[in-house]
Amino acid sequence: MINERQDFIQYIKIERGLSDNTIESYQRDLIQYEVFLTSQQIKQWEDVSREVLLMYLYDIKDAGKSEATIQRVLSTLRLFHQFLKRENRVSHDASLHIDTPKKRQTLPEVLSVSEVEQLLDIDVTTPLESRTKAMLELMYATGLRVSECIGLSLNDLHLDIGFIRLIGKGNKERIIPLGEVATEAVSEYIAHARLVLIKNKQHHTLFVNHHGNPLSRQGFFKLIKQRAKDVGIKKDISPHKLRHSFATHLLENGADLRAVQEMLGHSDISTTQIYTHVTKKRLQTIYQTYHPRA
């Protein structure tokens, strides 16, 4: 069973062009699936039936997994079983006629403009503070995913003309404009702070830690949470909230939905449309709070 999983992972790497994080997620889902099948004395993929797959989905639901997680797992298993059938590793597709549960749409929590200003108002006195300011300004200015931000190379920046170029999710190229404030913060960081932090290391990764090595996702999460705590923001904050705030604030100020979709790197505009619901909800809240007859 392991061989088929490895072949599948190789297939999605080459054919699908998925990100490393997505591939790791597929790998994790399949390993947990195999553990369950082993517990049911199933040792061959040919012996996996629709009923067995359903039993697994009920099993992870009973374990308290969220609807979103179950949906993701089913998506992984459906793609995997289709691969097995297409490659003639099995005679049937065990995932056939299993419906994907509808995902309950939850509106992303965003920071207000004043909260973003609090977060970004950093009095830079050290190289690490310069890096923090540059990262947060860039994240809010572009709406990058955290993996895209920490993966940026010096070669991706075109600060002289105010944009960055990157290869994002699904190996899609994006050109994203960079405002004057973010451009200045990143330029200052590169010219002064990065040279101090990187010491004698030889690499082109833009954002580094105090050892001069590329900053990790965990490092960025700790950094932004500490910054929020320092300025008194009570919301549970993450790098992704800056991405949500970037999109919401653009739309609230009249930006075109298609342009925001392009900058966020969404393949489907329906994914971007969730932010229009956020802005409508906020307008409704404002109306109910301040209108005398609401």
> What are the residue numbers of the active site?
145, 169, 240, 243, 266, 275
How far apart are alpha carbons 138 and 178 in whole angstroms?
A: 8
- Check if the beta carbon of residue 131 is closer than 8 Å to that of residue 193: yes
For residue 267, the cross-strand partners are: none
Question: What is the torsional sign of CA 166, 170, 171, 173?
Answer: negative
How far apart are alpha carbons 193 and 124 in whole angstroms?
A: 10
H helices present in the chain, as ranges = 2-11, 20-39, 50-62, 67-86, 113-120, 127-142, 146-150, 180-188, 194-198, 217-231, 239-252, 257-264, 269-272, 274-290
DSSP label at residue 143: -
- Check if the beta carbon of residue 133 is closer than 8 Å to that of residue 189: yes
Tell me if residue 112 falls in helix, strand or coil: coil
